[in-house]
Chain A
Amino acid sequence: MGYYVSAHAETFGVEVTPNCTEIMDAYRNPLLMEKARRNGIRTNEYRLITSAKSEINAPAVLFAVNPFTNNSMKVVDSDSNLPGMIKKMSMGARFPVSLHPLTGEVLEITQMFGESTNEETSGFTKRFYEVFNIPICKLVVQIDDGGVVLNHCEPAMKKEVKWDIVHDKMREIKQEL
């Protein structure tokens, strides 16, 4: 429903954040990657595929690129499991799958107005919020020697959100207004 609220407001000339383009840019994996790259947020070299190819190797992290999916991440450890998983996630080559190399420790975190559910990544979520303008979302990242790498963003489920952090943030924002 958030998307409709933004769409409706935009049609009537009201400035909304996030706007429809921002919502779509965050929740479709290739668009997320492009925007991150353009804004200096570290990403992996991702690939879009609809079937397994010889030059593609495990270990890899896969995301379905169909609309507004939750929990679409799959980690594949062995080459022999790749074709089957790609077939399943692409729904028989109907949608592309975004494939990222596994290079570090995979973490799922929730980003709330720039704050993170995981302290180690709070600098990263702050930057993410500045660039993407999405108030609350779930992020999949990898931690390697160079720091945090962005892999994916999707809507957060209620239970994944720390509501005390959200309420504190809302209070701060109200005071600033």
Chain B
Amino acid sequence: MKIACFVEAYNFDLKSEQSALLKFKSTAESMGHSFEFIFKDDISKISDYNALFIRATTDPSSCAYIVSRLAEQSGLKVIDDPHSIRTCSNKVILHDIFQKNNIPSPGSILFYGDYSPENIDGIFKSLGYPVIIKTPYTRFSSHVEKASNVAEFIEISKHLLRKAKVLVVQEYVQSDFDWRVGILRNEVIYLCKYCIPKGGWKVKSKINGKNVWGDTIAVPRDSISPELKDISITLSKYVGNGLYGLDVKETNEGYKVIEINDNPSIYDGFEDVIDKDIYEKIITELIS
């Protein structure tokens, strides 16, 4: 089988990511398949392959979406498929999916810019203080902000509404780490804790003006609690049967899902430290 891996130059910037990409390649080759990195200029040749694995950042406005959809139309097996990209990259669509399917998640309200006192009052009455404000499309925590009071809410939301027509406003859920549940074809393939750096509240936080990432602690997938597993698999089924990474907070009132990502990070020495067969499982899925 011929597998194409769609990447962009930045996928090779970090040693750990580059090394993971090379592990995908060597795993595929050891299983008797070819594995070629393809770039933006190669998109039109996608029908020459049997399967497509996307590692470049995906969102519906990206080249990754185009290559994903072209590959799907040409009958290739695709990870990430266009439907998963459209769903996961949009926090408004996720908000809808969580509500419709009763997925345990932080209290959440869509905000279109109605600054009437009743509306603002209503938001804080139902969500409490502080609140988290997000634009529909965010990536690596950009455009995810915290507002502690009404004045901050107005300032931040006005700023974000210049970039988006609608915002997601959420109850703030405190935690020291996010569970990251790696799912493939509705099965858990890895589990990690993405820790929140001291002094921050996001996995990637700005502390004293500098971007700081929290540690990643891999945990055996078999040690996942039945409840977390059940929530994760239920949610992944509502999105599709691709490769996903869920972010979930553990609280005294149970688990709360923050989001489900397509295109989850897989870096050598991070997600793959304990369950080392991630590479093989993904290649097997691509050629199936």
A→B interface (CB under 8 Å): 1, 4, 7-8, 11-12, 20-21, 24-25, 28, 30-31, 34-35, 38, 47-51, 65-68, 93, 95-96
Contact = CB atoms under 8 A, between A and B. Distances in A.
16 contacts: A4-B165, A4-B166, A7-B86, A7-B90, A7-B96, A8-B93, A8-B96, A11-B97, A21-B69, A24-B65, A28-B69, A31-B69, A65-B66, A67-B60, A68-B61, A96-B41
Given A7-B93, A11-B96, A28 B66 contact: yes
Contacts of B100: 11-12
Given A4-B92, A51-B41, 4 more contacts: A24-B82, A25-B69, A65-B63, A93-B40
B120 interface: no
B116 interface: no
Q: Report, as a range, how many residues of chain B touch the other chain.
A: 20 to 34
A78 to B, nearest CB: 23
A49 B45 CA distance: 12
Contacts of A95: 63
A48 B67 CA distance: 11
B86 A24 contact: yes
B60 A31 contact: no
Given A30-B66, A95-B63, A50 B40 contact: yes
A50 B41 contact: yes
Contacts, number: 65
Nearest to A31: B69
Contact of A48 (B40, B60, B65, B90): B40
Q: Is the interface of B mostly helix, strand, loop or mixed?
A: helix
Interface of B: 40-41, 43-44, 60-61, 63, 65-66, 69-70, 73, 82-83, 86, 90, 92-93, 96-97, 100, 165-166
B96 A96 contact: no
Nearest to B165: A1
A113 to B, nearest CB: 25
A34 B73 CA distance: 8
Contacts of A38: 73
